[in-house]
A and B are shown apart, each in its own frame.
Chain A
């Protein structure tokens, strides 16, 4: 853990340095707050930031039985842009919806899983072999479902009925897959075979859908370095990825409690992960925020995945210069 702490410190130092070098001026409409970060040093502030957005202030639709209606297509509103010019030129800009001229953001450091020392050492070894945010060890390059909570990233489609909620995933890496969350009071099967996405049963606690997930195999990672996207980023006002770079291995005793709460057009995803084999205590992830209808009237796409990356991923070497990759809040000391 010492090296992790050290690398985290270096990461923070580099982020601070890079932020100070490349900070963009604040948006004109926000001159008064230009001198201080717009948000968010804690998860609570992050949550408030999202729930203050106009999309989250809209009325939350409800089903006839009175529960919030989670149905809809959710995506990341702070993603990418494109344009078509008169001569027929088309442009895709990765991260193009980032507000590069906007106010600065700070982001809470992702909460890393509380591994027992023997597993922390294994994770550290994997981490040391990462190039930037990538390693060929990452099971995501198998194009198999990425487990829970890692699979819970946009784009996704939710279909809700009184007795079940179905989540359809569209993902670069996990391909096309789905989960069914049963709400009819059934227990987990006694003869459950472990699987990539496990078995899910849910119930409502107030306006939050609480889901119990078990029967997960140990062939996935918890978060890897893929992370997920939040708006803004250090100094760039752009997209920020929650990168839980020590959220890697888990055992087949993993048990997850998920919480889905809709606020207007926003879906807040929270999860607590237990792993009695590898963890010293439950791991509470940094909340994720998904937006409905981005772009409007969008729909889920076919997304079968064909693995062609793994064989080309290089490892860091002594000759590589440390380099910070903005867009990641941590681990930029690993970017070489």
Chain B
């Protein structure tokens, strides 16, 4: 049930800070930088495509039903040139994803900011000047 999946989703508001939300073309028109949520699941697939890389996480609810969450992030060229390559997304691994929700209310969609693997290492996809203290 969707509402039970929601139990896995923790929404909280980020502090309203002086930090600018730097432009990533359509980011603030699609996602709410002042809200975030986390989900835990299995990293299923990565689309290494323009204009945005997408990665997908299969999330199980209490009844064992699996729903796939989609997460948008930066373009592949930007990521690769900064040393974040496709193979850091380890398919099949259990991950916890922290993301901003879609403003249009689309379920199971977010802008992925942090991916934490079970061993503790992370993929951090951040914007300079933004405050991630509460993440």
Contacts and interface: CB of A to CB of B under 8 A. Distances in A.
Nearest to B127: A94
B120 A87 contact: yes
B81 A80 contact: yes
Given A89-B122, A100-B128, A134-B29, A312 B103 contact: yes
Nearest to A171: B50
A88 to B, nearest CB: 4
A108 interface: no
Given A133-B23, A170-B77, A303-B77, A308 B54 contact: yes
B9 interface: no
Interface stretch (A34-42, A46-54, A187-195, A320-328): A320-328
A313 B30 contact: yes
Contacts of B106: 312
A266 to B, nearest CB: 19
Interface residues of B, number: 46
B28 A335 contact: yes
Interface in B14-28: 18, 20-26, 28
Contact of A306 (B49, B81, B122, B129): B49
B84 A90 contact: yes
Given A238-B129, A306-B49, A306-B50, A90 B25 contact: no
Contacts of A171: 50
Interface in A161-183: 170-173, 175
Contact of B24 (A85, A94, A305): A94
20 contacts: A22-B20, A75-B81, A84-B83, A87-B119, A90-B84, A90-B123, A94-B22, A94-B24, A172-B50, A172-B51, A295-B81, A305-B50, A308-B52, A308-B54, A308-B72, A324-B20, A325-B23, A325-B28, A326-B22, A327-B23
Top 8 closest A-B pairs, CB basis?
A: A82-B82, A326-B20, A134-B29, A95-B128, A172-B51, A88-B121, A131-B29, A82-B83
